[in-house]
């Protein structure tokens, strides 16, 4: 537990520091996290790092995550990029005469889009010309509030299992506590900066972030249970890998961007 707390605090301070600095430094950190996450994902699915499909996925991930437009570089639309990635992976199964299978292609495609959009959205919000840091801090705070609230409400009041076959320690009471905590934090942001966000929008953000963030956690729990592993990696002692720590982030940020709850 001590190691977990120390590691979490050190990573948290480092991450928040670069989030505040922003610009290329923060973008580079998120890009590095995305690459490490893809390596974790590929390893979990027993895809060799030298596998050409994995290499294609890395290139596609860089195309998804790197903020080209912010640096004045015209780039293709996301839907076009998704289609091109799908085509290249399918074509590779043909060119390799099925040496690399459709199953490997499907797994790589899913992971690249999953991680690519998740981490790209974190950069996109931070690079907003107006109040990018404020919106980023709001998003992270409601996510963390949900995690903390779910933990403490679950410990204190948890009696009914939420989804025991996937995550036996999570409870309905904890999930509700996470939503309440997230909404409270979001409303505090609205009270402190009414010119930036209305109360109703804050409440919606709190609910959406808590619910989808908990789904992000459950998604990884389900996947790890299928693969028979406890953690995606070991880069953070006591916490596992990058995806273990960001599983809710890479779901919440795209949802908040796609729904325009964060005005990107």
* Nearest CA among 80, 30, 40, 33 for reference residue 60: 80
Task: Tell me, letter by letter, the H, E, C secondary structure of 238-259.
Answer: CCECHHHHHCCHHHHHHHHHHC
How far is it, in rounded angstroms, from Cα 80 to Cα 84?
6
* 139 vs 233 pLDDT, higher one: 139
Residue 264 lies in a domain: no
Predicted local distance difference test score (pLDDT) of residue 177: 95
Residue 16 lies in a domain: yes
Rounded to the nearest angstrom, the gap between the alpha carbon of residue 159 and the centroid of all alpha carbons in its chain is 29
19, 137 contact by CB (below 8 A): yes
How far is it, in rounded angstroms, from Cα 155 to Cα 157?
6
Residue 220 predicted with pLDDT over 70: yes
End-to-end C-alpha distance for the chain, whole angstroms = 39
Mean pLDDT over residues 177-193, rounded?
Answer: 97
Residue 243 lies in a domain: yes
The pLDDT confidence band at residue 2, using thresholds 50, 70 and 90, is low
Residue 168 lies in a domain: yes
How far is it, in rounded angstroms, from Cα 191 to Cα 187?
6
Predicted local distance difference test score (pLDDT) of residue 191: 97
Residue range 4-45, pLDDT digits in tens: 667 778 888 899 999 999 999 999 999 999 999 999 998 888
How far is it, in rounded angstroms, from Cα 222 to Cα 219?
5
Residue 131 lies in a domain: yes
Q: Which residues pair with 163 in a beta bridge?
A: 167
Predicted local distance difference test score (pLDDT) of residue 166: 82
The pLDDT confidence band at residue 206, using thresholds 50, 70 and 90, is very high
Residue range 105-144, pLDDT digits in tens: 999 999 999 999 999 999 999 999 899 999 999 999 999 9
Residue range 43-59, pLDDT digits in tens: 888 887 778 888 899 99
Lowest mean pLDDT among 66-75, 87-96, 221-230: 66-75
Rounded to the nearest angstrom, the gap between the alpha carbon of residue 264 and the centroid of all alpha carbons in its chain is 17
204, 196 contact by CB (below 8 A): no
Crossing angle for the helix pair 102-126 and 23-44, to the nearest 10 degrees: 160
Residue 263 lies in a domain: no
Residue 162 lies in a domain: yes
Residue 114 lies in a domain: yes
Task: Tell me, letter by letter, the H, E, C secondary structure of 181-206.
Answer: HHHHHHHHHHHHCCCCCCHHHHHHHH
Q: What percentage of the chain reaches a pLDDT higher than 90? A: 61
Lowest mean pLDDT among 4-18, 128-142, 156-170, 224-238: 224-238
Give the count of domains, the chain.
Answer: 1
Structure token pair of residue 235: 């880069």
Mean pLDDT over residues 87-115, rounded?
Answer: 90
What is the extent of the structural domain holding 43?
Answer: 2-258
Q: In whole angstroms, how far apart are CA 101 and each of 8, 23, 83, 94, 114?
A: 39, 40, 19, 9, 20
Q: Is 100 left (phi over 0), alpha (psi -120 to 50) or beta?
A: beta
113, 81 contact by CB (below 8 A): no
Count other Cβ atoms within 10 Å, centred on residue 103.
Answer: 10
Q: How do 161-163 and 167-171 pair as beta strands?
A: antiparallel
Predicted local distance difference test score (pLDDT) of residue 3: 62
Mean pLDDT over residues 232-240, rounded?
Answer: 67
């Amino acid at each position: 537990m001590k190691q977990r707390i120390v590691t979490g605090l050190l990573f948290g301070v480092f991450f928040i520091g670069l989030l505040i600095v922003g610009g290329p430094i923060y973008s580079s950190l998120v890009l590095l996290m995305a690459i490490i996450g893809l390596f974790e994902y590929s390893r979990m699915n027993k895809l060799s790092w030298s596998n050409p499909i994995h290499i294609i996925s890395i290139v596609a991930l860089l195309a998804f995550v790197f903020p080209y437009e912010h640096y004045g570089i015209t780039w293709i639309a996301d839907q076009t990029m998704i289609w091109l990635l799908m085509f290249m992976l399918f074509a590779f199964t043909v060119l390799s005469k099925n040496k690399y299978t459709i199953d490997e292609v499907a797994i790589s495609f899913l992971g690249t889009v999953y991680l690519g959009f998740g981490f790209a959205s974190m950069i996109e919000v931070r690079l907003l010309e107006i109040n990018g840091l404020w919106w980023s801090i709001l998003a992270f705070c409601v996510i963390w509030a949900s995690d903390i609230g779910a933990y403490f409400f679950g410990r204190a009041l948890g009696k009914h299992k939420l989804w025991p076959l996937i995550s036996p320690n999570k409870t309905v009471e904890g999930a509700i506590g996470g939503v309440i905590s997230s909404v409270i934090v979001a409303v505090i942001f609205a009270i402190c900066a009414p010119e930036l966000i209305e109360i109703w929008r804050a409440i919606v953000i709190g609910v959406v972030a808590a619910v989808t963030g908990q789904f992000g956690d459950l998604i990884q729990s389900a996947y790890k249970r299928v693969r028979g592993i406890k953690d995606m990696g070991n880069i953070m002692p006591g916490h596992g890998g990058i995806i273990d720590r960001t599983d809710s982030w890479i779901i919440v940020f795209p949802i908040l961007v796609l729904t325009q709850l964060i005005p990107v």
